[in-house]
Amino acid sequence: MARRPLPRITNNGNDRIVRGRELARSAAENATDVLHPLITITRGLRRLAAAGRHRWSGTPKDRRGPLLFLLASIVLVVAFLPFGPLLATITLMAAAAWHGRDRTASRPTGPDEAQTKRLESLYEALVPYFSAPEDPAPLFTHGGDWAKAFVSYAFDGTGRVSQLTIRYPAYFTDGEAASRARIEQLLHTKSGRGREYRFEWDEEGNQLTVTALPPLPADIAAQHFVTAPGETVLGFTDPAGVQRTLPVTSGTDRRDVPPVVWRTGVRSTEPHLLAVGGPGSGTTTLLRSIALQTLRHSDVLIVEGGGTGEYACLAGRAGVLAVECDLTGALAGLEWAAHETERRLIAMNRARQAGQPPPDDTRRPLWLLLDRPTVLGQLAAADGRRDPQSLLQVPLRHGRAAGVTVVVAEQFDGMECLSDPVRQHTRARVALGTASAAQLEAVLGTRPPTTATADMPPGRGYARLGTGPVHRLQVPATPDPYDEATSEAHRQAVLSLLPERIAPADGEPSDVTDVTAEDRAGPDAVAKVAAEG
């Protein structure tokens, strides 16, 4: 039995349909052009009628009668005037045409002359980096069309580029950090210095988006932040960087800003922090801010290697175990902290083995804040004594389980003197102040996605928690209240956060505490207990 062929749709039918659609579209466009005056007048009459109804509804009822009489008198006068109805009709059509006009403001379809020159300059500057002699159809050529390479662009009020999306060839080595750095440095220079730029590389789509970032708020002073126990606000960042905001007060203004929150405790993956910066960059301010936040629910031991007395306001306060500024006091305090970590581990392990909750004397967190410990290390080496950093091995290694947190602040020129345990166990990193790309990469582990300005305010830098993204950071203003250069508003803000001052009892020793023989178990015993627990 032979199969019957399926009916076919001829191409002539398709051509007729396409031609019919084109004729209908052209007829509609021509009709719109011809009837445009009528459409404008009709739209104006509708708007005038709507305005009249709105005016009538807003008129009180006791005034509607006189208003109707006035309108009737005007109509009667116009009707008896020579050419009155014709003039009234012309006036009404003119008013309708005026009110029915298209009120959308005409927008420029492209950049002006100055903006075009900026885009051409950026395009020409990128030609040596985004072109190759072997490319048969290069996207970037000298004297080429910049509109093909720049997908989108935007300018700020000063005429400088605020956003730019660049399409680059697929053979560009965008996976190499050195190649990226060259392009970012070039765009930073050509787009305008004095601003920070974020670079977002889309390797799959071969596109680079450059965005000029607004400056971070530097007017937020120290205050009580709405955080849970174990959360510490390092500073504030961009809204797109985090998914949380905190209410803050700046003078009389109250607003919500995105913070960089560092979480510590037993379940923290970054239990210790390292802050690095230059002189006057704000590392001491960061440690003072952390101390004021943690004193609400923790005990704090401060070791100041610089010897400038920046933490004198915290001495003798409730929760502050000691503020040590000399080598002898620092060694005594850190030795006690190491044995206290051992004691907590042993006590918590015994409680877990007995099926009991941890003892009360191990629940309150302990914070060790060290400002420039390498200075004390150099003094100890000259005096033939022990380096204070060697006493941090136990708190750094077992501090998370024992509720002990270590925060170290150091300058860039002293990073080489930091011990290996400090480098390995401080997974939360902060870099403040002006620094080179190599210095930032050495601290953060990667290059920031933004470019820094030449003049950065104190407390301005970057933060990275573990292997997370790099955030721009602005530390809240927490100056020394005893400094004469501190403003009165900031002084009162810091003094209001200080705990009450406590007086030592009569005959109480100046040491932090005494350590029993059982607590001096040593690092080997601590490791054994941690492995058994």
Q: Is 283 annotated as a binding residue?
A: yes
Buried b (16+ CB within 10 A) or exposed e, 156-167: eeeeebbebbbb
Distance from C-alpha of 454 to C-alpha of 124, rounded to nearest angstrom: 26
Cα→Cα distances 142→21, 28, 145, 146, 258, Å: 44, 45, 9, 10, 44
CA angle 333, 336, 339 (to 5 degrees): 155
Q: What DSSP string describes 468-527?
A: S-EEEEE--B---TT-TTS-HHHHHHHHHHSPPB-PPPTT--SSS----TTT--HHHHHH
222: tokens are 């120290």
Distance from C-alpha of 368 to C-alpha of 300, rounded to nearest angstrom: 6
Helix (H) or strand (E) holding 303: strand 299-304
Q: Is 280 annotated as a binding residue?
A: yes
Residue owning tokens 């080997």: 524
Burial degree of 110 (CB within 10 A; 0-12, 13-18, 19+): exposed
Q: Is 277 annotated as a binding residue?
A: yes
262: tokens are 């560092």
Residue of 451, 479, 465 whose CA lies nearest to 274: 465
Residue of 208, 149, 143 whose CA lies nearest to 182: 208
Q: Cβ–Cβ contacts within 10 Å for residue 155, how many?
A: 18
- Residue 241 DSSP SS3: coil
Q: Is 306 annotated as a binding residue?
A: no
57: tokens are 């509804």
Helix (H) or strand (E) holding 163: strand 161-167
CA angle 331, 337, 343 (to 5 degrees): 140
- Residue 172 DSSP SS3: coil
Residues constituting the chain: 533
Q: What DSSP string describes 335-351?
A: HHHHHHHHHHHHHHHHH
Residue of 202, 224, 233, 197 whose CA lies nearest to 212: 197
Residue owning tokens 């530390």: 475
Q: Is 65 annotated as a binding residue?
A: no
- Which DSSP state fits 81? S
Q: Which residues are annotated as a binding site?
A: 277-284
Annotated binding site for ATP: 277-284
